Amino acid sequence: MEVPLASVPEGSRVVVVSVAGGVGARRRLLEMGFAPGSEVEVVANRRGPVVVRVRGVTVALGRGVAAKILVRPAGGGGG
């Protein structure tokens, strides 16, 4: 079950499936660590930016950006 990162509740662990977006923005996200297969932990997701931990780094993502990252639940479930 693939969902946009923006809709993942706080505290969940997910795995990146793919990243959409324009050439430059997409490449930047991939290389900031949101490459397919990377594990992401959602730290904060209420109003305002979505805050995640990815590859040992905390990153704040605008909601528009977070909507472009497709993820599936970590550990077996789904994809």
Partner 1 sequence: MAEVGSGRRVYRVAVVGNPNVGKSTLFTRLTREIAHIANWPGTTVERKEGVLHLDGADVVLVDLPGVYSLAGVSVEEKVARDYILRGDWDAVLVLVDSLAPERTLYLAVHVLELTGRAVVALTKWDAAHARGVHVRVEALRRALGVPVVAVSAVTGEGLGELVKALREVLEGGGGEPLKVDYGLLEPAIAEVERELAGLRLGVRAPPRWIALKLLEGDEDLAKLVEGAGGGAAVGRAGELREAVARSAGVDPEELAVARRFSFVDEVSRRAVVRARVSEGRGTLERLLLSPVAGPLLSLAILVSAYALVFSLNTGFPLNALFKVVGLGELAERLESFTLSGLISSFFDAAAGYLRAGLPPSPLTSLLADGLLGGLALVLSFLPLILTALLVLAFLEDSGVGPYAAASLHRLFQRVGLSGRAAYPLLVALGCNVPAVMASRTAPEEAERRQLMAAVPFVPCQARLVVLLAFASAYFADSPLLAAAAFVTAYAIALALFAATSLAVRRVLGAGEAPELALELPPLHKPSLRVLWWISWDYAKHYLKRAGLVIFGLSLVVWGLTSYGPSGPAEPGESYAAMAGRVLAPLASFLGLSGSKAEAAVFAALAGLVAKETILLSLAALQGSTDPVEALRALELSRAQALALAVFYTAYMPCAATVATIYKESGSARFAAAAVAWSILASAAVSWLVYAAASALGL
Smallest separation, CB 43 to partner 1 (Å): 7
Q: Closest approach of Cβ 34 to partner 1, in Å?
A: 9
For partner 1, what does the binding mask look like between residues 26 and 45, x meaning CB under 8 A? -xxxxxxx-xxxx----xx-
Burial 18-47 (b: 16+ CB within 10 A, else e): ebebeeeebeebbeebbeeebebbbeebee
* 51, 72, 73, 78: residue in contact with partner 1 (rule CB under 8 A): 51
Q: What residues contact residue 56 under an 8 Å CB cut-off, 6+ apart? A: none
Residues at the contact surface with partner 1, assessed by CB under 8 A: 18-19, 22-25, 27-33, 35-38, 43-44, 46-49, 51, 53-62, 64-65
